[in-house]
């Protein structure tokens, strides 16, 4: 670093840089440069950072495949869970659907007020929607495969039903935190990504039983 | 590499060096590494200049484009129109998938347009004071601690020539970015959030982009759909409690280098009257939130969920004030989030 380098040579070396980092250098020469560089801590650091950059540049996609694969799996599971749930809501509990419809009319009379209209969906692999009033009617929550809950061994294991309720509450809480985080970062930083994210958090919302008719329900679902 | 060294040797030849060939080559190789460092700093300066240009471009340019955003799970498409009219920034963000929704901005006024029955994310907290597409932070000095920013290869996105910027993390506690900026205007055309191995976790990419005079005033007018509802938003902070109400201030006692606190407040837990301490930390680019909520019963369990780059890690910690549920949410690696969660302590105690 302390060695002065004339600008002309810097350009030439810079030109060669990508070749070196792209692995076109032979092993022996590479080692020699590294040996030289090892005498200078700063140069070693530079070397290391350049390799990190080159990794980012190349994008070794293989490593990401596992994660994306599991996300894909989670997605298809979740869609099945949602589909079966929608069916049970409209076909097996007509009275609650009617009540829900009344609720909908009430809330429409109020208009979509901010503060009452909060999304219930999360764009994470965790998609567990919970209607706070009917947790017990949601058996899907307990075995929602998309939800990755890690219970530490030290925690005493509660009864299965309690665990299911707990998980539902946990998921709901986590979801609220997520939305809050996205909003905070959107506000503080205003990234276009944050805004797109706020938009996607809405996608998949509307799973509460607030539809006027099965037809509308089906229509809304098909839009997603 | 051998070629590189030979080049070094040749270019060195006219100078005072006249040692045996091998020594010249070695010196050349040494200088190569030295030059890497020198060119790296020149490169970084140029890359940061591009970042500055990008920030300005989002506010000053007139543009109308469609972009897709993949968050690791779902692919969404949106249209964004931005135009400076009479010195005021006017914007329109249109959701192209699912239920029709639009967000309009005229200066500081923001309106959401949607169908009745559509449940809107509560945006009161999230309307930024700048344009929707203001990209990244301006806090480049702070960013310098956690990231190297260098120029990458030239590319082509949305039919336009693009320069690539690489934002590489300097440690394992944050993710990197690959950005492609429009060569002509410096607008962001593609952004990838990448993990340590270089795999993309989130991708945003423009598919079409019109610029300048091609952006008609009419592009800012919302689509007319029968029955659409308009909701005007104000910046409100209604649910924030006063700090004195709880008197406790929680802090992370361990943070990755470069992160500092951006905000702290106390608000109501969703669906209850319980207070939740909320802390936001940022390193100038990445951000995470910490939520601390008293959890006296055995209600919650430790949990972890990941999608794309966003992680949520919950840990239960025992304190003098009883059991607390600490949740860290952010675009950071899970191990880092867990370490932060476990480090949360009451500041000063009481």
All structural domains of chain B: 2-234 (2.50.20.10), 250-346 (3.30.200.100)
Q: Do B78 and A205 touch (CB under 8 A)?
A: no
Residues paired with residue B345 on neighbouring β-strands, in sequence order: B251
Encoded tokens for B231? 């909701």
With tokens 């249109």, the residue in question is: B94
Q: How confident is the model at residue A154 (pLDDT cuts 50, 70, 90)?
A: very low
- Using the 8-state DSSP alphabet, how is residue A22 labeled? I
Q: How much is the pLDDT for B92?
A: 86
pLDDT beneath 50: ranges in chain B: 1-17, 120-138, 234-245, 349-350
Mutate to test the interface with A, among B15, B126, B152, B187 (most CBs of A within 10 A): B126
Residues in A closer than 8 angstroms to B289, CB to CB, are 177, 180-181, 184-185
Q: Which of B350, B291, B347 is nearest to B324 (CA)?
A: B291
Cβ atoms B206, B189 nearer than 8 A: yes
Q: Count the neighbouring beta carbons within 10 Å of the beta carbon of residue B308.
A: 24
CA neighbours closer than 13 Å in the CB half-sphere of residue B237: 8
Q: List, as one string, the DSSP characters of A53-91.
A: HHHHHH--THHHHHHHHHHHHHHHHHHHHHHHHHHHHHH
Mutate to test the interface with A, among B125, B148, B198 (most CBs of A within 10 A): B198
Q: Is B291 left (phi over 0), alpha (psi -120 to 50) or beta?
A: beta
Confidence of residue A44 (pLDDT cuts 50, 70, 90): low
Closest CA to B81 of B50, B106, B100, B115: B106
For residue range A14-30, list pLDDT tens digits in order: 444 444 555 566 666 56
Q: What CA–CA distances, in Å, run from B289 to A147, A179, B25, B176, B263?
A: 21, 11, 52, 19, 9
Residue to mutate among A191, A198, A210, with most B CBs inside 10 A, is: A191
Question: What mean pLDDT, rounded, does chain A reach?
Answer: 43
CB contact B21 to A (< 8 Å)? no
Mean pLDDT of A190-201: 49
What pLDDT, in 10s, does the model give residues B84-134?
A: 988 888 888 888 887 777 878 787 677 777 776 655 444 433 344 344 444
Cβ-based contacts of B293 with chain A (< 8 Å):
173
B residues 305..344 contacting A (CB < 8 A): 305-308, 310, 312, 314, 316, 325, 327, 329-330
Distance CA B314, CA B303 (A): 5
Average pLDDT over residues A139-156: 33
Q: CA of B220, closest CA in chain A: separation in Å?
A: 18
Count the alpha carbons within 13 Å of B126 in the hemisphere toward its beta carbon: 29
Using the 8-state DSSP alphabet, how is residue B320 labeled?
A: T
- Taking the CA of residue A189 and the nearest CA in chain B, the distance in Å comes to 6
For position B344, what pLDDT does the model report? 92
Predicted pLDDT at B163: 95
Q: Helix, strand, or coil here: B236?
A: coil
Q: Is A214 exposed, middle or buried (0-12, 13-18, 19+ CB in 10 A)?
A: middle
User: Measuring CA to CA, which residue among B95, B131, B96 is closest to residue B110?
Assistant: B131
Predicted confidence at residue A206, as pLDDT, reads 33
- Spatial CA neighbour of A137 closest among A178, A76, A95: A95
Find residue B193's DSSP bridge partners: B177, B202
Residue A142 with chain B: CB contacts under 8 Å: none
Backbone angles phi, psi at A52, to 5 degrees: -65, -45
Contacts of A179 in chain B (CB under 8 A): 121-122
pLDDT score at B111 = 76
Token output for B283? 């390193």
DSSP state of A157: P
* Nearest-CA distance A142 → chain B (Å): 14
In the stretch 256-275 of chain B, residues with CB closer than 8 A to chain A read 262-263, 269-271
Check: CB of residue B291 under 8 Å from CB of residue A152: no
Mean pLDDT on A218-224: 39
Predicted pLDDT at B283: 84
* C-alpha–C-alpha distance, residues B176 and B179, integer Å: 10
**What is the distance between the alpha carbons of residues A182 and A198, in angstroms, rounded to a whole number?**
7
State whether residue B9 sits within 8 Å of chain A by CB.
no
Least confident of A33-37, A129-133, B64-68: A129-133
Total-model pTM: 0.60
Q: How far apart are CA A185 and CA A181, in angstroms?
A: 6
* Token pair of B297 as six digits: 């019963």
What SS3 class is residue B18? coil
| A51: nearest CA partner in chain B | B168
Interface of B with A in 143-182 (CB under 8 A): 148, 150, 152-153, 164, 166-170, 176, 178
> What residues of A are in contact with residue B303 (Cβ under 8 Å)?
148-151, 170, 174
Reduce the DSSP state of residue B195 to 3 states and report it. coil
CB A197 within 8 A of CB B93: no
Distance of CA B62 to the CA centre of its chain: 22
Spatial contact of B91 and B132, defined as CB atoms under 8 Å apart: yes
Is the model more confident about B334 or about A223?
B334
d(CA B327, CA B22): 59
Cβ separation A180–B289 shorter than 8 A: yes
Residue-wise pLDDT for A66-115, tens only, equals 333 333 333 333 333 333 332 222 222 333 333 333 333 333 222 222 21
**What was the pLDDT predicted at A128?**
17
- ipTM surpasses cut 0.85: no
The verdict on a CB contact (< 8 Å) between A56 and B178 is yes
In this complex, is the C-beta atom of B52 within 8 Å of any C-beta atom belonging to chain A? no
């Amino acid at each position: 670093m302390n060695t002065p380098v004339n600008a002309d040579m810097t350009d030439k070396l810079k030109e060669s840089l990508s070749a070196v980092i792209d692995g076109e250098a032979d092993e022996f020469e590479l080692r020699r440069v590294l040996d030289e560089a090892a005498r200078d801590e700063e140069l070693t650091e530079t070397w290391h950072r350049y390799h990190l950059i080159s990794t980012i540049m190349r994008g070794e996609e293989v490593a990401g495949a596992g994660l994306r694969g599991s996300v894909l799996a989670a997605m298809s599971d979740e869609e099945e869970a949602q589909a079966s749930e929608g069916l049970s809501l409209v076909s097996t509990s007509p009275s609650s659907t009617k009540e829900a419809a009344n609720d909908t009319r009430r809330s429409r009379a109020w208009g979509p007020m901010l503060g009452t209209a909060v999304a219930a969906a999360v764009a994470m692999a965790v998609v567990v929607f919970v209607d706070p009033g009917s947790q017990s009617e949601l058996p899907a929550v307990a075995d929602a495969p998309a939800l990755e809950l890690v219970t530490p061994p030290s925690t005493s294991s509660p009864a299965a039903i309690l665990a299911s309720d707990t998980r539902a509450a946990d998921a709901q809480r986590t979801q609220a935190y997520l939305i809050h985080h996205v909003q905070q970062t959107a506000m503080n930083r205003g990234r276009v990504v944050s805004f797109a994210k706020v938009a996607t958090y809405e996608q998949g919302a509307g799973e509460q039983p607030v539809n006027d008719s099965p037809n509308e329900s089906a229509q809304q679902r098909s839009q997603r | 590499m051998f070629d590189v060294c030979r080049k070094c040797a040749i270019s060195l030849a006219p100078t005072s060096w006249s040692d045996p060939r091998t020594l010249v080559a070695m010196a050349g190789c040494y200088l190569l590494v030295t030059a890497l460092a020198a060119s790296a700093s020149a490169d970084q300066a140029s890359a940061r200049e591009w970042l500055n240009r990008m920030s300005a471009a989002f506010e000053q340019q007139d543009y109308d484009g469609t972009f897709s955003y993949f968050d690791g799970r779902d692919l969404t498409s949106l249209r964004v129109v931005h135009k400076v009219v009479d010195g005021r920034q006017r914007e329109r963000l249109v959701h192209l998938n699912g239920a029709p929704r639009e967000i309009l901005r005229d200066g500081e006024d923001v309106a959401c347009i949607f169908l009745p029955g559509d449940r809107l994310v509560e945006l009161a907290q999230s309307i930024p004071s700048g344009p929707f597409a203001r990209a990244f932070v301006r806090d480049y000095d702070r960013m310098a601690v956690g990231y190297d920013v260098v120029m990458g290869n030239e590319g082509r996105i949305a039919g336009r020539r693009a320069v690539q910027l690489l934002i590489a993390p300097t440690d394992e506690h944050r993710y990197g970015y690959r950005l492609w900026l429009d060569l002509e205007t410096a607008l962001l055309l593609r952004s990838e959030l990448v993990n340590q191995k270089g795999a993309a976790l989130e991708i945003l990419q423009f598919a079409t982009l019109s610029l300048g005079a091609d952006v008609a005033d009419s592009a800012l007018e919302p689509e007319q759909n029968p029955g659409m509802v308009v909701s005007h938003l104000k910046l409100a902070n209604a649910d924030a409690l006063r700090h004195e109400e709880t008197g406790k201030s929680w802090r992370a006692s361990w943070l990755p280098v470069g992160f500092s606190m951006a905000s702290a407040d106390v608000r109501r837990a969703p669906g209850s009257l319980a207070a939740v301490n909320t802390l936001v930390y940022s390193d100038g680019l990445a951000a995470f939130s910490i939520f601390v909520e008293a959890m006296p019963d055995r209600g919650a369990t430790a949990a972890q969920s990941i999608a794309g780059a966003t992680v949520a890690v919950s840990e239960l910690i025992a304190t003098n004030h009883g059991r607390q549920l600490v949740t860290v949410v952010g675009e950071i690696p899970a191990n880092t989030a867990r370490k932060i969660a476990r480090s949360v302590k009451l500041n000063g105690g009481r």
